[in-house]
Amino acid sequence: MGDTNRRIDEIRSDATPAENQLIDDYMGRRLSRREFIRRGSIAGMSLPVLGFIAACGDSEGEATTTTAGGDTDTTAAGDTTTTAAVDEGPVTVRMGINNPAGVIDPVLINDLGRIQFVSLFADTLTFSSSTGLRPALAESWESNADGTQWTFTLREGATYSDGTPVTAADVVATFEGIATGNAASALGTGALSPGGAVAVDDRTIQFNLDAPVGAFPYIVSSDNYNAIILPTSFWDEYAEGSYESSFIGTGPFMVDEFTPGQGATLVRNDNYWGPTAVPDRVEVTFFADESAMIAAFQEGRLDVIPSFSAAIGQALLNDPDAQVDVIPTAEHRQVHMNTQEGLFADKRVRQALALAINRQSLLDGLISGFGDLGNDHPIAPFFAVFNPDAVAQKEEDLDTANALIDEAGVRGAEVTLNTLQFAELELLAQLIQGAGAQIGLTINLQIDDAGTYYDAYWLDSTLGITNYGHRGVPNVYLGAPLKSDGTWNAAKFDNAEYDALVDAFVAEPDETAQRELAGQIQALLADETPMIIPYFIGNISATLPGTTGLETTGMGHVIITELVLGG
């Protein structure tokens, strides 16, 4: 027995926390022998080790049977167990996500809830993860010499959930279909106009662009959440909301039941082109109130929350019954200032407000440190092209800020800051108001619902705060909100040198050359300060302790094909 214990101690000393949790669950009779071996092999434990631990557990004097409902029936060794051995029953994952903001429609998707939900059962050509870009429905891609033409090859054997093959014609129909909706700005950033996608053969698609785009594979990735590939037949009969009648997709799960505003049940898709998903079933609950979702997890009604905000989810951050993980993202808040008229037409005033802010305090106080400091440009440390040596990190400097205000002659000026009710934005607005007071500016706050803000104030406010979700490359951030012809240019920024740098950056396929251009962009924006970007926000998720295999993205996608629940 002593040799056995020593061997177990040796195994435990080399095991990861997740592996030790599996051992604890098995030895504590919370897992059957079969389930322990299944989960352990997925976690990467060797079969000899699993067999040794399983044998030790068997010799502890009890036999364990897991019921379909997850209950465990234990009897003394040698007794007859009449409960049916049902550890081969379905593995169910209970997940909480944000309530979708409207009908589940590929043309209209633009919110976290719909992105999270659709990512469970639909795919794009490529997938933008926290570590870079990887193949999805497209197995490979290449460009011509100048980046104006990109050719993608579909994965052989990929089918929809009904078994129908995925074809290049479907891809063409998809990009034509989504061009009239929310994807239009993304496709414009990628220089893809209607008619630019052509099916060469059943598995080959050629994208002919209006201008060179070195990072075009991101434009057709999960970053462009509207671009889930759907059959030509769907687009032939498309009507708003029609997708909810079929939910056809190419992902690892299929929608079995769906109730708007409440939730859905999904089952494993046996036609999935990728590895067989570990969970058999996913029970999704929609939450309009994030605090209610946090409470549901703490009450034991959820196993996974793929994304929650630090401001609302404080109760989970130090909860011993929650495993909290964070990944870096490029999500951020843009505090835009009208550079053409009014108080902020003077660059010195923009610079002064930027220097009146204590960024570290905002990062720690508003998002509990789950992110990175911002430096008034949208090229986040997350990006491979981020140039850390381009410009010094801005810090609070009230002496310099007050001197700039006095030079500009605007002490005592009054301005309204507009923003929307979202996450920590109202708190951020209040802290900016306080920063303004330290340099002699009176900042009045107007906080509206999202619809009112975007309809009436976003692009027509002197000072405003807007949330920008994650992207895998900074192209969208550099173009739409900051180029002189940008459709989201709330700062009314108009700088010919900047426009030329962005055009060169977007066209450049070489990462080293891109990083050099990025450094010039970072320095220019830090000086001109058309907007303040105080921090970038990490994506925080919560699972049961010991859970492995959850993958989330900054954009909101949820990958659970390899998910093994702890407990």
- Indicate which CATH number applies to the domain containing 185: 3.90.76.10
Q: Is the same domain home to 223 and 130?
A: yes
Q: What element of type H or E holds 475?
A: helix 475-479
Residue 129, domain member (yes or no):
yes
| Burial grade of 399 (CB within 10 A; 0-12, 13-18, 19 or more) | exposed
Give the CA-trace dihedral at 433, 435, 438, 443, to 10 degrees: -20
Residue 114, domain member (yes or no):
no
Q: Is pLDDT of 415 > 60?
A: yes
CB 481 within 8 A of CB 336: yes
More confident residue, 505 or 184: 505
What type of residue sits at position 563? Answer: L
Tell me the pLDDT tens digit for each residue of 525-557.
Answer: 999 999 999 999 999 999 999 999 999 999 999
Q: What is the CATH number of the domain that holds 564?
A: 3.40.190.10
Q: Is pLDDT of 189 > 90?
A: no
How are beta strands 535-543 and 138-143 bridged, if at all?
unpaired
Q: Is the same domain home to 232 and 269?
A: no
Q: Is the same domain home to 416 and 349?
A: yes
Q: 217, 248, 279 — which closes off a domain?
A: 248
More confident residue, 68 or 45: 45
Long-range contacts of 87-91 (CB under 8 A, 24+ apart): 87/32, 87/34, 87/35, 88/34, 90/280, 90/281, 91/278, 91/279, 91/280, 91/281, 91/565
Cα(559)–Cα(42) distance, rounded to whole angstroms?
A: 15
Residue 501, domain member (yes or no):
yes
CB-based contacts of 161, cutoff 8 Å, min separation 6 = 121, 248, 249, 250, 251, 254, 269, 271
Q: What is the CATH number of the domain that holds 363?
A: 3.10.105.10
Q: Which DSSP string corresponds to 275-304?
A: SPPS-SEEEEEEESSHHHHHHHHHTTS-SE
Mean pLDDT score across all residues of the chain: 88
- pTM of full prediction above 0.85: no
pLDDT average, residue stretch 98-108: 92
Nearest to 534 by CA among 451, 466, 473: 466
Q: Is the same domain home to 231 and 267?
A: no
Cα(466)–Cα(454) distance, rounded to whole angstroms?
A: 9
Residue 375, domain member (yes or no):
yes
- Domains of the chain: total: 4
More confident residue, 72 or 37: 37
Residue 109, domain member (yes or no):
no
Tell me the pLDDT tens digit for each residue of 232-287.
Answer: 999 999 999 999 999 999 999 999 999 999 999 999 999 999 999 999 999 999 99
Tell me the pLDDT tens digit for each residue of 300-335.
Answer: 999 999 999 888 888 999 899 999 999 999 999 999
Residue 108, domain member (yes or no):
no
Q: Is the same domain home to 10 and 63?
A: yes
Domain membership of residue 549 as a residue range: 90-99+251-322+544-567
Cα(239)–Cα(96) distance, rounded to whole angstroms?
A: 29
DSSP 8-state code for residue 178 = H
154: β partners: 138
Residue 113, domain member (yes or no):
no
Residue 105, domain member (yes or no):
no
